[in-house]
A = this chain, B = another copy of it.
Amino acid sequence: MNVMTQAVADEEVRATAPYKLACSETRRGGRSVVEVGGRKIGGEHFALIAGLCAIEEREQTLATAQTVKDAGGAFFRGGAYKPRTSPYSFQGLGEAGLRILAEAKAQTGLPIVTELMDVRDVEPVLEVADVIQIGARNMHNYALLSEVGRARCTVMIKRGLSSTLEELLLAAEYVLKEGNENVILCERGIRTFETAYRFTLDLAAVPVLQELSHLPVVVDPSHAAGRRELVEPLSLAAAAAGADGIMVEVHPTPDAAICDGRQALACDDLTRFAERIGQVAAIAGKRIGAAI
């Protein structure tokens, strides 16, 4: 238990919010800035997180990571363990995928964001991951949240498909309560009646979460949109709404991707894309940039 949680345990908790550690009042000095591998997210620091939905093979992964670095991305994301609705779909390369991610990190210096789905995989994932992603389908997996709360690793929690903002903040509270202060929230679209796209990206969540909590808020437009034509307008919108970062999928040859290629940006387009995001982020008072 660290100082912050100790303080809460010691004195009477006066906050009316049920998420005592995540709420804005806890952090009197303003909003949290999470620092990972020399990159910052939060405050004036806008982070571009980009990468592959699923790690498929080595060469492609290394090339994509280099593209992300060259475009000014702050983090490289890639899935080694993939939560799939069907047991017959590609489930990710597992530990082999983690090894490829480790290579990408060694080569580019970019910190790695990757998903953890099973409490029994914490150790191998922690060897590679700088940011452990808790996927939307696991936002209510309290065993997993508590486990990463005990790890020394930044945790990014994606909002569940039908989770309220309060529930998302309580999921963060499971992590914070175990002493891990490095939590990032991620809006990635909610389930509604509309069928014109996979999920409805809820950008009001950005200012509201920033009002309720001191934690940084990033947006993943790729999974909400489900197709690349929508990724750029929604990314610009997220930056304009004040998000602390965006997480997008890129692929050297999107249409050949095993998983979710329809929503990946082409690598060739990433630099131009990043520049436009940076322009809008600047109007919202933030700087995009990998180095500090």
Contacts and interface: CB of A to CB of B under 8 A. Distances in A.
Interface of A: 18-20, 83-88, 117-120, 137-138, 140-143, 146, 160-162, 164-167, 170, 173-174, 177, 190-197, 200-208, 211, 224-225, 229-230, 233-234, 236-242, 276, 279-280, 283-284
A284 B232 CA distance: 11
B117 A120 contact: no
A164 B195 contact: yes
A147 B203 CA distance: 35
A22 to B, nearest CB: 11
Q: Which 7 residue pairs are nearest across A and B when measured between Cβ atoms? A: A162-B162, A137-B140, A240-B240, A236-B240, A118-B143, A237-B237, A237-B241
Nearest to A146: B87
10 contacts: A85-B170, A118-B119, A192-B202, A196-B205, A201-B203, A201-B204, A203-B234, A237-B240, A237-B241, A240-B280
Which of A84, A118, A164, A196 has the most chain B CB within a 10 Å cutoff? A196
Given A120-B119, A206-B233, A18 B143 contact: no
A226 B230 CA distance: 26
Contacts of A137: 140-142
Contacts of A141: 137-138, 141
Contacts of A138: 140-141
Nearest to A189: B204
Given A119-B119, A197-B204, 20 more contacts: A118-B143, A137-B141, A137-B142, A138-B140, A192-B192, A193-B193, A194-B202, A195-B195, A196-B208, A197-B208, A203-B233, A203-B237, A204-B225, A204-B230, A207-B233, A211-B229, A233-B240, A236-B240, A279-B283, A280-B283
A164 B194 contact: yes
A24 B208 CA distance: 35
B201 A230 contact: no
Contacts of A170: 85-87
Contacts of A200: 190, 192, 200, 202, 204
A86 B174 CA distance: 7
Nearest to A18: B86
A3 B283 CA distance: 45
Contacts of A284: 236
A141 B83 CA distance: 8
